[in-house]
Structures are given as C-alpha cells and as structure tokens.
C-alpha cells in the first residue's frame, strides 16, 4: 500500500496531462485528416498562409489540390488548407 501511495501523484499527473493535452490533440488531428479527405471541387477554402480560393482539382495520388485564386491557379498540399478558417468562410451568413 505504501508503494502505491508513493506513485499516486505521478499517476494523477499523467492522467491530467493525458485528458487535457494529449487526447484533445489526437482528436484535432483526426478532425483535420477527415477535413482534408472530405475536400471536394468547388469548396471555398483558406490556406494556412492566408490565401483565399476555390478548389478546382484534387489529386489523390500525391494528396494535393489546385486552388483558383484571383491571381491564378496554385497547387497546394491538402495539409496546407486551414480547417478552422475554411469552415468559418463556408458558414451561412446570418
């Protein structure tokens, strides 16, 4: 019993770190992966660098997409698309 009480603070600290830091990060990574997989032609998106555009082509082979901006067409990796900003962009206006 004495050995267990010695390790109780470490076990509690690991549980707190897991539930407040590791688990939410894993959930967010899963959501971002699903978002990138669910991209389709015609989606309006914003890249992580702040470029706005519309998806016009998706390439499954190298996991890239071509985005049409006002300056022309640019090829990006799907991981370069910002999930939060693109969702805000596509919310219906109130």
- Other CB atoms within 10 Å distance of the CB of residue 50: 8
Confidence of residue 94 (pLDDT cuts 50, 70, 90): low
Predicted model pTM: 0.69
Express each pLDDT in 42-64 by its tens digit.
999 999 998 999 999 999 899 89
C-alpha–C-alpha distance, residues 56 and 71, integer Å: 14
Write down the pLDDT at residue 1.
61
Q: Cα torsion for 11, 15, 16, 18, to the nearest 10°?
A: 130
The whole-angstrom distance between residue 87's C-alpha and the CA centroid of its chain comes to: 11
């Amino acid at each position: 019993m004495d050995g267990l009480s010695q390790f109780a603070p470490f076990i509690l600290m690991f549980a707190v770190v897991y539930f407040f830091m590791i688990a939410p990060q894993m959930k967010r990574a899963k959501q971002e992966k699903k978002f990138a997989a669910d991209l389709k032609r015609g989606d309006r998106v914003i890249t992580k660098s702040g470029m706005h555009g519309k998806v016009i082509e998706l390439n499954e082979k190298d996991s890239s997409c071509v985005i049409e901006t006002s300056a022309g067409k640019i090829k990006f990796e799907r991981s370069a698309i910002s999930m939060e900003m693109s969702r805000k962009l596509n919310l219906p206006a109130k």
